[in-house]
Amino acid sequence: MATWSGKRKFGYFFIFIALVVLFLVVPSFFLFYKTPTCFDGKQNGNETGIDCGGGCSKLCPADYAVPRVLWTYSTMVLPGIYNALAYVQNPNPSVEAASLPYDFKLYDNQGLLIIEKTGRTFIPAGQKLAVFEGGINTGNRIPALTTFEFTALPDWRPGTPITKIHTDNVDLTQGPNPTAQVEIQNDSVDQGYANITAFIILYDKDDNRVSFSKTIIDSIDPSAKKMLFFTWPSAFSAPVVRTEVLFVANR
């Protein structure tokens, strides 16, 4: 059984520990402890990644699938001048990326690099898109292979796809100087769109890419129709049997 003296010593020891905690540990905690933020370079708080997810406005790249490059193609505009296009799909229906860096490379038939073109593109939410690089000067060399890749992970943010604009009719004239007139419709009754890039992609009977072109839609009002015009400087390499039109917002 503990003696009265032992109990008193234990009491003094407990008071000593309490004073140490009160006057040393607690002030040290508040001196060195930093409240977790979304900008401290650490995964803390309720974040699901470093400074992303949870309560942070920045979304974590690891929580979403990367954009898929479905194919890449280049076509001659004039001798020594080519346009390149990458056909990409963002499988994530609710996020977009404002400015994702990319890299086009054109190679000759011996696998030697002719030219490399870099740039940045907007990735819309949940839809297919085209990444276009025009006026590529290859000199007297002819590209046999075109590659494309994104050179960074997307900085995702919440977004919604463009679903209200659709194609009503495509009138394609093939010949020495092909043209296409495309009638489009904005199905929204209360929302107009501005600064939209429209791409047209042409396919042959085997569903191979024949050519492509693009134009800018300055604006289209709610419930409005609009006619788009595309031109090509020379005849296609094969008869076109199918067309595809894509709409991508410029943000």
Predicted pLDDT at 63: 87
Per-domain boundaries in the chain: 64-161, 162-251
Predicted pLDDT at 163: 85
User: E strand or H helix at 229, and its extent?
Assistant: strand 225-231
- Which residue in 217, 222, 208, 204 sits closest to 247, CA to CA? 217
The token pair at 142 is 């002819």
Q: Which residues contact 57 (CB under 8 A, 6 or more apart)?
A: 38, 157
Predicted pLDDT at 175: 92
The second-level CATH assignment, the architecture, of 64-161 is Sandwich (2.60)
Q: How far apart are CA 9 and CA 212, in angstroms?
A: 90
Q: How far apart are CA 88 and CA 70, in angstroms?
A: 6
Predicted pLDDT at 18: 57
CB-CB contact of 60 with 80 (8 Å): no
- Superfamily of 162-251 according to CATH: Immunoglobulins (2.60.40.10)
CB-CB contact of 86 with 76 (8 Å): no
Predicted pLDDT at 13: 54
Same fold, 64-161 and 162-251: yes
Predicted pLDDT at 54: 77
Q: What is the pLDDT along the chain (251 residues), one digit of tens a residue?
A: 556 555 555 555 556 565 555 555 556 555 555 666 786 778 877 777 887 887 787 788 888 999 999 999 999 999 999 999 999 999 999 999 999 999 999 999 999 999 999 999 999 999 999 999 999 999 999 999 999 999 999 999 999 888 899 999 999 999 999 999 999 999 999 999 999 999 999 999 999 999 999 999 999 999 999 999 999 999 999 999 999 999 998 77
Q: How far apart are CA 249 and CA 193, in angstroms?
A: 9
Q: How far apart are CA 29 and CA 161, in angstroms?
A: 48
Predicted pLDDT at 4: 56
Q: Where are the beta strands (DSSP E) in 28-127?
A: 68-78, 81-89, 95-107, 113-123
